[in-house]
Amino acid sequence: MSLTNALTDILEKYRDVGQAKANPPAGVHDDFEQVANNAPKEVTAAGVEQAFQSDQTPPFPQMVAQLFEHADGSGRAGLLNRLLQSVGGAGAANVPGASTISRLLQGNRQQVAPEQAAQIPPQEVEQLAAHAQSRNPAAVSEVSRFASEHPGMVKGLGMAALAIVMHHISRRI
């Protein structure tokens, strides 16, 4: 069976899942990993963005905090740096409720290293994501693109979010 046929067979299970909170098919985590590793990144990113914007999932800032919690050090740093870029780096220094991030950005720093990211609580990431979303609507797309490059992180969003991602991908492939 070719790769395209294998992906088509997996994605067929998600065509009718839609945006409803229906029970996702069993194995959604494994299915997502296989599809995300083989589908075009822009299609996966668009699916992640759909999950971020769905009324069937938690708000974007909360989901970003979930991504952060399920990432390794470099993934956490990368996610934070994408958010920082979307608010203009130094713009994150004054985010209410993000004192650790502000402290790490002192001295005109605009990037967070993996070892620094380990010091940041998920609640501050949630605050930063809310700030980024309000200041730059493209922040959701930026985070979606980043997440599409890290399927292991996305799996931490939960079954409902993954089912939405898979549904979107199934309609594009």
DSSP 80-115: HHHHHHHTTGGGGGG-TT-HHHHHHTTTT-----HH
Confidence at residue 16, expressed as pLDDT on a 0 to 100 scale: 74
Lowest-confidence region among 18-22, 32-36, 88-92, 162-166: 18-22
Model confidence, pTM: 0.88
Res. 93 pLDDT band, cuts 50 70 90: low
Contacts of 40 (CB under 8 A, 6+ apart): none
Q: pLDDT tens, 27-70?
A: 899 999 999 999 999 999 999 999 999 999 999 999 999 999 99
* Alpha carbon distance 109, 45 (integer Å): 28
Say if CB 87 and CB 136 are below 8 A apart: yes
